[in-house]
Amino acid sequence: MNPSTLQTICQIIIVIGILFTALGGYGSYHFGKEIENKKITQEQIEQQNERLEIVSLLRKHTERIKAIRDILLFDMYFTAVTQNNGAVEWPKSIEGSSFENYYPDQDSIKKLTDNIPLNKIRFEEKNWIYRLDRVKNQTIPLCESTLKLSNYLTANETSLIGQLMTCDLFAKLEDHKKTLESGTKIANENITFLEPEIREYLMLTEKVDKEILKEITNK
């Protein structure tokens, strides 16, 4: 076999080698991407399954937060209406004693707090500071339990629950309780002085209801 033929054979071998190298490189890239995509898809499926597992618990917590808020609103309206001064009436939109879908506006909240005497309370609490403190003691543990699921919550869910847990009303109640427990009386005759904090609390619980509870219930 002459040198020219050998050279040709070698060149053909080199070309074949280049083709195999190219095919090997493409195959490695292509199948590597498929493996990565399958891995990402599997991770997404696992995340979705984990999310589904906590949705029932999230619904349970937010339903309880809403129920606490609804009972508080009923108590507030009951106290204000039974002053019998005509300043506050039962909301026309509610059915019976259910405040489930009632969200008072700023003027309604102001009128309510103007007509709720600090020391007139339906239950065993001494006054409205302790009644609202019961709301705090019921709500914060629910918020804490919910935030333990933060790896599976949306950013908005985490933010709203965190804001509710640390709202100004709960912080102010601690200060007012210390005042009362020191033997000092709170001079205010009604709870108007708590109106901004109560308004914020009601606004946050409304968002929890509309942006979390109704969102996960309707899916």
User: Does 188 map to a domain?
Assistant: yes
Residue 117 lies in a domain: yes
Q: Which residues form the domain of 161?
A: 54-217
Distances (CA, A) of 152 to 38, 44, 76, 118, 180: 21, 12, 35, 41, 41
Phi, then psi, of 2 in degrees rounded to 5: -80, 160
Name the 3-class secondary structure at 190: strand
DSSP string, 104-156: --HHHHHHHHHTSBTT--SSSSSSHHHHHHHHHHHHHHHHHHHHTTGGGS-HH
Q: Is residue 47 part of a domain?
A: no
First to last CA, the chain: 78
134 within domain boundaries: yes
CB atoms within 10 A of CB 153: 19
The reply to whether 37 falls in a domain is no
Q: Which distant-in-sequence residues (6+ apart) come within 8 Å of 1 by Cβ? A: none
pTM of this prediction exceeds 0.95 = no
Q: What backbone phi and psi angles, to 5 degrees, belong to 188?
A: -65, 135
In a domain, 66, yes or no: yes
**Structural domains in the chain (count):** 1
Place of tokens 């002053």: 83
Query: Would you give per-residue pLDDT tens digits along the chain (219 residues)?
Result: 566 665 566 566 665 666 556 555 655 665 555 555 554 455 544 555 566 678 888 999 999 999 999 999 999 999 999 988 889 999 987 766 678 889 999 999 999 999 999 998 877 788 999 999 999 999 999 999 999 988 888 999 999 999 999 999 999 999 999 999 999 989 899 999 999 999 999 999 999 999 998 888 876
Residue type for position 211:
E
Dist. CA 101–CA 199, nearest whole Å: 16
